[in-house]
Structure 1
Amino acid sequence: MRARIAPGRALTAAAGLALIAVGLHGVATNVETTGWALWFAVPVLAHDAVLVPAVLAAGWLTGRLPAPARTPVRAALAAAGCLVLVALPLVLGYGRRADVPSRLPLPYGRNLAVVLTAIAVAAALAAAVRVHRARRAEPRGRPAETGPGEGTAEAGDGGGGRR
């Protein structure tokens, strides 16, 4: 049985598709093909060649952290990586002109460092809180995390452990 789509949602989707069509028509008729192709290709390449390998490497490198700390650290690394990719042209000063001082007037390198520091501090606090809560919640004398096949059935309990 198919679910019915609410009329308001269908109307919103149709309006969105119409606006996308108008935008694509404008791009196709008013922008050079190489310009918009480059505009779409560079982010795809940055994602596939830089961001994905960096996220995979960060996931692998953070695998030795305590389990409760992994999620906030990995989230912070992903957010920081995306932020650096977006802010890098500003930090490097692409588009800055000496005769137009109002173009890129801020200290973008310092501002990026401040935001990255805030992300790191927030991740460290979140990881510390999660690790602390996990240690308080675990029973005495038993590790919080067990490997595959470990700790699932105690000796002599008839094998009734979780699977």
Structure 2
Amino acid sequence: MRVVVAVAGLALIAWGARGIAAHVDAAAWAVWFAGAAVLHDAVLVPVVLVVGAATGRLPGPWRRATRTALVVGGAVTVVAAPLVLGYGRRADEPSRLPLPYDRNLAVVLAVVVLLCAAGPVAGSVTGFAGKVVARRDAARRGRRR
């Protein structure tokens, strides 16, 4: 099965490389690709590591909720960024990007934060999270409650 998946992956890579060679300016693509690698390694990875370390100090349920909100919010923001920044918008064609994408992104991010915060809030109100943590800690010590 691994061989089949590897062959399929290599075929897709070859198809993509052929498309890049046939339809894209190679120099511009190489600059974009190198810039993406530098941006990832020099900016994104350090930010993720610092935020991960900072959220590591939060209590368990809040740590998970915060990290989930950050991952989902980051993915949504990356997808929405071209729309929010207006790439492709033209003054002579107002129907191309007609919506208030910045407001819509803010609404989606607010919903993500509220949904992620709902779990720890509900757990602290009902006491459920504390019971789960106590049971897990007892199991790690080798005894049941």
- TM (normalized to structure 2)? 0.74
Determine if contact 1:87/1:112 at 8 Å carries over to the other structure.
yes
Determine if contact 2:120/2:129 at 8 Å carries over to the other structure.
no
1:46-57 to 2 correspondences below 5 Å: 46-57=39-50
- CA gap of 1:46–1:128, structure 2 versus 1, over 3 A, is farther
**Superposed displacement of residue 122, structure 1:** 1.2
**Superposed displacement of residue 137, structure 1:** 4.5
Quick check: 1:64 aligned with 2:70? no
Aligned pairs, number: 137
**Superposed displacement of residue 101, structure 1:** 1.6
User: Which residue identity does 2:73 align to in structure 1?
Assistant: A
**Superposed displacement of residue 130, structure 1:** 4.6
- CA gap of 1:80–1:42, structure 2 versus 1, over 3 A, is farther
User: Which residue identity does 1:86 align to in structure 2?
Assistant: V
Q: 2:30 corresponds to which residue?
A: 37
- CA gap of 1:106–1:30, structure 2 versus 1, over 3 A, is same
Instruction: Give RMSD over aligned pairs.
Output: 3.0
Query: Within 2, Cα distance between the matches of 1:101 and 1:62?
Result: 42
**Superposed displacement of residue 25, structure 1:** 1.3
Q: 2:130 corresponds to which residue?
A: 135
Q: 1:149 corresponds to which residue?
A: none
Query: Within 1, Cα distance between the matches of 2:109 and 2:43?
Result: 18
Q: 2:119 corresponds to which residue?
A: 126
1:107-122 to 2 correspondences below 5 Å: 107-122=100-115
Where does structure 2 lack aligned partners over 5 or more consecutive residues?
A: none
User: Which residue identity does 1:135 align to in structure 2?
Assistant: G
Per-residue CA shift, 1:70-102, capped at 9, x if unaligned?
A: 112112112212322332232121221101222
- TM (normalized to structure 1)? 0.67
**Superposed displacement of residue 65, structure 1:** 1.8
- CA gap of 1:63–1:109, structure 2 versus 1, over 3 A, is same
Q: 1:28 corresponds to which residue?
A: 21
Q: Identity of counterpart residues, as a percentage?
A: 50
Query: Within 1, Cα distance between the matches of 2:32 and 2:53?
Result: 31
User: Which residue identity does 1:93 align to in structure 2?
Assistant: G
**Superposed displacement of residue 127, structure 1:** 2.5
1:77-96 to 2 correspondences below 5 Å: 77-96=70-89
User: Which residue identity does 1:110 align to in structure 2?
Assistant: R
Where does structure 1 lack aligned partners over 5 or more consecutive residues?
A: 146-151, 153-159
Query: Within 1, Cα distance between the matches of 2:6 and 2:133?
Result: 48
